[in-house]
Amino acid sequence: MEIEKGKEELLAARKELESGKKELIQGEKQLEDAKTAIEEGKKRIEAERENLEKSKREAFSELDKARRELVQGREEYEKGYKDYLKAKKEGKEEIQKAREKIAEEEEKLKDLKKPEWYVLKRSETRDYIDYEMAADRIDAVASVFPVFFLAIAILVSLTSMTRMVDEERTYIGTLKALGYSNMAIASKYLIYAASASIIGCIIGLLIGFRVLPTVIFNAYRIMYIMPDVITEFNVTYAAVSSLIAILSTTMAAWIACRSELSETPALLLRPKAPKPGKRIFLERIHFIWSRMKFTQKVTARNLFRYKRRFIMTVLGISGCTALLVTGFGLKDSIVSIVTKQFDEIYKYQMIIELKDGLGKGSSDEVLEFIKEDSRIKDYILTRQIAIDVGKGNIERSVNLVVPEDTDKIYDFIILRNRLTKEKLVIESDGVVLSEKIARILDANVGDEVYILDDNERINVRVTGITEHYADHYMYMSADLYEEIFDEDIEFQRILAHTADTERKFEDNLSKDILKLDNISSVSFITGISDSYKDIIGSLNYVIVVIIISAGALAFVVLYNLTNINISERFREIATIKVLGFYDNEVANYIYRENVILTIIGTLLGLILGVFLHRFVIVTTEIEMMMFGREIRKVSFIYSAALTLAFSSLVNFVMYYKLKNVNMVESLKSVD
């Protein structure tokens, strides 16, 4: 029993021993973990100690920096405070001076007179007046050209109706023999002419009230900011123009019928006898007539045989050519404003306006700048003011120009007689007027005009009238200016020659000049010239309309008269074709007369065009501007060439009619 009990105790002891071993192993493991934790704690302590040292160093560095900034800020504050005290003292002094200045100016204000107010209506503003004058120019043109077109329309109607009546001569005789009255017979032709006129009036009114106003209005929109054009149907204009057109063509038809209706039915039933041939003046000049070919002799006789056709063709062609010359001449005259004024008369390129004037011989930073700047070649000082001048009961405002050196002014502005091109001199005892103001005042060389100065009239003698196209000018010497106005002259304008005229060059130069103190403004001739070119561009549309209308008129006249000529001479043309004439020979036979008549009409039209151009120029010219009086030679060439071109076109169109003449039918006779 004891043995069993000892075994059990031994087993229990073994179990305790095993359990103790396990606890020992677990304790050793815990001891190792504790050692590891102690080592990690030491490392963390070292790291924290290093961070603490680093933070300590950074904190001391920031503290030192803050101390330095504090010292620097204190120094700046002390300096700023001193500046503030100084500025405060100076500010008080400036304020005191300003108060004293204000007090002085307030005292001066007490002596000022009450200002005058000028209220301008819309109709008194410059742009409105310019546009009104432009409309007046168009109105003046419109009062001239319709007369020519109406005359040509009557001519065309008369020739067309005459041909129609001649072709129906037998028909008219038959109606008269049957007892119809003259008015009943004529009513057919009167109604025909009136209906054609009514149709033409409808088309013309549509173009006149819609197309042409829009074209011209849009042309003037180049210069003005305007709303869209509103075209209204003017009943009065439409009625009057239509009535005149219808009456003109109807009267032409009546004139054509009257001569035929005055004959008896027996005569009307017979073909109209051809006009008898007569000896012409050229036949009496034997040495010329004997050397002419047969066809040339026939042409010469035919020209003078059909006098009505001769006169109508020459008048129609001359009227067309005159209109073309006037159209091209108007363009030349208007272009002269730019080309002559800004290319020939004005030789300078830049204008400098000064705030404060300069006396004779004085110097200024502006003058020093101009002398030293290589972009400016030369300059001259001038004084320009607006004054009122008059003669008799006529007074106008002009620009008075007084150069510092009257001899040097010719390097910048050309003063010359327009007709003789003679150079004019600014004399010390007289003035030079621009041509347009001289014409308005009716002043000639040697006459006296007066200058208004504080309602006092001061007489001056006109020693020259210079060519000038834009605005009114008077040129005077500095000595005469001081004598008239009783004051020392001060020049406030500088005219200068520049090395270039490109836009970029001028912009850079003007920017540099405007930096100077005594500069009011800087302008260039190119800019002024461009504004006038805009005006010319707008008028070009009107001129193009005139040229196109004149060309169309020439074509209609030539076509109508050539068609009548061929129709009246069908039997004659057929006869020469039967005799063996080729188509080209027949065409030359007819065209030779057209060419000669066209040349005669063109030469006459070139002469008439000069007078018509002069009349239109004088009529359309506005007060502040003078158009050129000369027509370029090339304009005459263009006018003649266009007329001949339209004549050639008509000949080309009518060639096929000549070619298709039926010889058999044309040679049939009712005799």
Same-domain check for residues 263 and 398: no
Does one domain contain both 36 and 170? no
**pLDDT tens per residue, range 318-370:** 888 888 888 888 778 877 777 788 778 888 888 888 888 888 777 778 888 88
The pLDDT of residue 127 = 66
Of the two residues 537 and 424, the one the predictor is more confident about is 424
Range of the domain at 550: 306-347+525-671
**What is the rounded end-to-end Cα distance, in angstroms, of the chain?**
192
Is residue 94 predicted with pLDDT exceeding 80?
A: yes
Question: Which pLDDT band, with edges at 50, 70 and 90, does 101 fall under?
Answer: confident
Instruction: Tell me the pLDDT tens digit for each residue of 518-577.
Output: 888 888 887 666 666 666 666 666 677 777 777 777 777 777 777 777 776 777 777 777
Tell me the C-alpha distance between 130 and 117, whole Å. 24
Question: Looking at the structure, do residues 549 and 445 belong to the same domain, yes or no?
Answer: no
Residue 496 reports pLDDT greater than 80: yes
On the CB side of 411, CA atoms within 13 Å amount to 15
CA distance 379 to 347: 11
Range among 251-255, 309-313, 502-506, 606-610 rated most confident: 606-610
Q: Which residue has the tokens 């030539």?
A: 558
CA angle at 214 for the pair 470 and 216, rounded to the nearest 5°: 20
- Using DSSP's 3-state secondary structure scheme, residue 451 falls into strand
Alpha-carbon gap, residue 215 to 209, rounded angstroms: 11
pLDDT level of residue 386 (50, 70, 90 thresholds)? confident
Is residue 431 predicted with pLDDT exceeding 80? yes
Model confidence at 666: pLDDT above 60: no
- 609 neighbors 324 (Cβ within 8 angstroms): yes
Quote the percentage of the chain above a pLDDT of 90.
Answer: 4
- pLDDT number for residue 137: 64
Indicate whether 23 and 72 sit together in one domain.
yes
Among 585, 581, 558, which residue's Cα sits nearest to residue 653?
Answer: 558
CA nearest to 312, candidates 617, 20, 563? 563
What band does 466 get if pLDDT is binned at 50, 70 and 90? very high
Q: Are residues 460 and 541 in the same domain?
A: no
Q: Are residues 551 and 667 in the same domain?
A: yes
Distance separating alpha carbons of residues 59 and 503, to the nearest angstrom? 66
Considering the domain architecture, whether residues 544 and 580 belong to the same structural domain is answered as: yes
Averaged confidence pLDDT in the chain: 79
The pLDDT of residue 607 is 92
**Contact residues for 347 (Cβ-Cβ < 8 A; gap 6+):** 411, 412, 413, 414, 497
Distance CA 569, CA 591 (A): 13
Q: What is the model's pLDDT at position 529?
A: 62
Q: Is 257 part of any domain? A: yes
Asked which of 318-327, 591-600, 612-621, 639-648 is least confident by mean pLDDT, the reply is 612-621
Q: Is 161 helix (H, G, I), strand (E, B) or coil?
A: helix
Q: Which of 35-44, 274-283, 581-590 has the least mean pLDDT?
A: 274-283
At 202, list the tokens: 């409808």
In a domain, 421, yes or no: yes
Phi-psi region of 179 (alpha: psi -120 to 50; beta: other; left: phi over 0): left
Per-residue pLDDT reduced to its tens digit, 180-196: 888 888 888 888 888 88
In DSSP notation, 649-663 reads: HHHHHHHHHHHT--H
Stretch 407-423: mean pLDDT: 88
Q: Is residue 361 part of a domain?
A: yes
Residues 490 and 404 occupy one common structural domain = yes
Q: If pLDDT is split at 50, 70 and 90, which confidence band does 433 have? A: very high
Between CA 460 and CA 433 the distance in angstroms is: 11
- Same domain for 542 and 640: yes
Is residue 290 one of the residues assigned to a domain?
Answer: no
Q: Is 232 left (phi over 0), alpha (psi -120 to 50) or beta?
A: beta
Report yes or no on 182 lying in a domain.
yes
**Tally of residues, the chain:** 671
Predicted confidence at residue 136, as pLDDT, reads 67
Q: Which of the listed residues 500, 535, 557 is the one where a domain comes to its end?
A: 500
Distant-in-sequence, close-in-space partners of 342: CB < 8 Å, separation ≥ 6: 525, 528, 529, 532
In a domain, 492, yes or no: yes
CA distances from 334 to 163, 472, 542, 543, 632 (A): 43, 17, 12, 10, 12
On the CB side of 81, CA atoms within 13 Å amount to 6
Quick: pLDDT tens for 115-129.
Answer: 666 666 666 566 666
With H, G, I as helix, E, B as strand and everything else as coil, classify residue 457. Answer: strand
Q: How far is CA 161 from CA 66, 433, 455, in A?
A: 116, 57, 68
Predicted confidence at residue 432, as pLDDT, reads: 92
Residues 550 and 623 in one domain: yes
Q: Is the pLDDT of residue 222 over 80?
A: no
- Number of domains comprising the chain: 4
Environment class of 656 (CB within 10 Å of its CB; exposed 0-12, middle 13-18, buried 19+): exposed
* Radius of gyration of the chain measured on its C-alpha atoms: 51
Assigned domain for 286 exists:
no
State how far the alpha carbon of 191 is from the alpha carbons of 419, 506, 613, in Å. Answer: 55, 68, 38
Question: pLDDT confidence of 474, banded at 50, 70, 90?
Answer: very high
Max Cα–Cα distance, the chain, nearest Å: 198
Distance CA 415, CA 533 (A): 23
Predicted pLDDT at 223: 59
The alpha carbon of 497 is separated from its chain's Cα centroid by a whole number of angstroms, namely 27
Residues 582 and 631 in one domain: yes
Residues 343, 420 within the same domain: no
Distance CA 89, CA 83 (A): 10
With 0.85 as the threshold, say if the pTM is over it: no
Task: Grade residue 224 by pLDDT with cuts at 50, 70 and 90.
Answer: low
Measure Cα distances from 428 to 92, 483, 610 in Å: 56, 10, 40
Please indicate, yes or no, if residue 105 is contained in any of the structural domains.
yes
User: What SS3 class is residue 669?
Assistant: coil
